[in-house]
Amino acid sequence: MSGPASPGLEFSVRDIVADPYAATPQLVARLRVEDGSDERVHAIVLRCQVRIEPQRRHYGTAEQDSLRGLFGERERWTDTLRPFQWMLCHTTVQGFTGSTEADLPLPCTYDYDVIGSRYLHALGDGTVPLSLLFSGTVFTRGGAGGTGFGVRQVPWDCEARYQLPVAVWRQMIAAHYPNTGWIRLDHDVLARFADFRERRGLISWDETVTTVLADTRARDAADEIGSVT
């Protein structure tokens, strides 16, 4: 059963760091939660939509070139540079009165099919403008007569902003994928790569892809020579 919106609930981000003990890439946001209702909060089941706001930072020439695939040519960025969702995450905030701090896990991926990964990989340095939009349910202790529980909702307008250093994301990815990355391929495409690798007697996937690229460049060069003659 849903109750009224929570009065005076505010969130801020103290810090975002890489989780050194996570089995997969994960950041952790340290949140400060303040409640002005004077009630004892038993727990908050907290949901968060993390959005990247690319229009809130400057881009160098190399970054603009790398981001062309996401946002188009630079002259179109007034229309195409818009906030986009990076991830959805959740946590449970333990009981408190007045204010508390809590950790919000931010699971990440290096999958290049994910727009957030493509965007972050294209950045050189500086920071990533984040917006965290909160929702969820607040369970309070002590209703009428000081007994029982109450339920109210996290207000829809609860949000916080944070400038995430690009270096923090890069260090996290490097710890899990040192000097490597990965892309997802269709089964048929992967089978064709495997067949090419076997026929050429290639040792690794790196060598396989490098050979394919070299063959493509050689054909492009031959086509240019043929068009001239």
Q: Which domain holds residue 16?
A: 9-176
**pLDDT for res 34:** 95
Same-domain check for residues 127 and 159:
yes
Flag whether 4 is in a domain.
Answer: no
Is pLDDT at 223 greater than 70 in this prediction? no
In order of 34, 155, 207, the CA distances from 97 in angstroms are: 9, 18, 59
**pLDDT for res 228:** 59
Would the pTM count as exceeding 0.85?
A: no
Angstrom distance (rounded) from CA 49 to CA 204: 39
**pLDDT for res 141:** 77
206, containing H or E segment: helix 205-228
**CATH number of the domain encompassing residue 30:** 2.60.40
Dump pLDDT digits (tens) for 156-195: 899 999 999 999 999 999 888 887 766 777 788 878 888 8
Residue 1 banded pLDDT, cuts 50, 70, 90:
very low
Flag whether 210 is in a domain.
Answer: yes
CB contact at 8 A, 51 and 131: yes
Is pLDDT at 55 greater than 50 in this prediction? yes
Dump pLDDT digits (tens) for 96-116: 999 999 999 999 988 777 899
Residue 196 banded pLDDT, cuts 50, 70, 90:
confident
**pLDDT for res 2:** 44
Flag whether 220 is in a domain.
Answer: yes
